[in-house]
Amino acid sequence: MSRDVRLGNLFNVRDLGGYPTLDGHSVSWGRVYRAASLHLFDPEHAQDWHRLGLSTVVDLRRARERAAGGWPPLLDSAVVYELPVLPDDWTLPKERFSSATEHLSHAYDDMARLGADAVRRTFELLADPERYPLLFFCVAGKDRTGILAVLLLTALGVDEDTALDDYELSGDRVVALVEHLRSNEGLDRGNPMINQPLEVLRAPRSAMADALTRLREQHGSVLGYLDSCGVADDLRAAVRTQLLD
């Protein structure tokens, strides 16, 4: 099956199904999706939206991003949970870092630290069989969405290299999204991705890998980090029941 999902005019929409786990299972197809900029969805493509039959959408954007971005009423056919990973006043000065990739990697540290409640609440939704199919998204579908996807795949038992492979898939798709935004005058011109360097738009593997290394140093393991968020083994087991074949 194709990992990319057709959803009208949107970019970087993917199914997390099909990945093998270390204990011989695989992630179910058609149950959980990751996406970018769902707020830009054109209702002219309503057939794509209805085809997915989503029950739940998790919006990881900041409150001010939601206020600026609008929301197509069509999408209200799913239950939308607003679970910001970062607060509106979050900043991380670039001058403290030697490269854009290093800056991005340390932004992931802040996402893990400040987004613990969003992580826990998303896992609680994923443990509920009534919440499927479920989609989570942010603006690029690469960073906040990316770290949540890596955490989820790890909790399901997918090995880290495969989870990082999924993260890297966002690169070309985010570049295409930004090129689309830049070429369409007046379309989401305030989007912060427009001015980001290509180096970070391409989802550099080392940015996420280094952040995971620091997460393990602090918490012993990625699962130890999830424990600290309130995503204990019983909750992870419930999510595995919903998402593993």
Decide: 121 and 81 in contact? Cβ < 8 Å. Answer: yes
Write out the chain's pLDDT in tens, 245 residues: 789 999 999 999 999 999 999 999 999 999 999 999 999 999 999 999 999 999 999 999 999 999 988 899 999 999 999 999 999 999 999 999 999 999 999 999 999 999 999 999 999 999 999 999 999 999 999 999 999 999 999 999 999 999 999 999 999 999 998 888 888 765 555 566 777 888 888 999 999 999 999 999 999 999 999 999 999 999 999 999 999 99
Instruction: Give 27's DSSP letter.
Output: B
Query: Which amino acid is located at 224 in the chain?
Result: G
| Contact criterion met (CB below 8 Å) for 17 and 244 | no
**CATH, domain range 14-243:** 3.90.190.10
Residue 169 three-state SS:
coil
Domain segments of the chain as ranges: 14-243
Q: What is the Cα–Cα distance from 219 to 109, expressed in whole angstroms?
A: 12
The token pair at 51 is 């085809």
Tens digits of residue pLDDT in 77-115: 999 999 999 999 999 999 999 999 999 999 999 999 999
Residue 57 near residue 137 (C-beta atoms within 8 A): yes
For residue 164, what are the CA distances in angstroms to 33, 39, 83, 187, 242?
A: 16, 26, 23, 31, 22
CB 11 within 8 A of CB 112: no
pTM here is: 0.96
> pLDDT tens for residues 134-159?
999 999 999 999 999 999 999 999 99
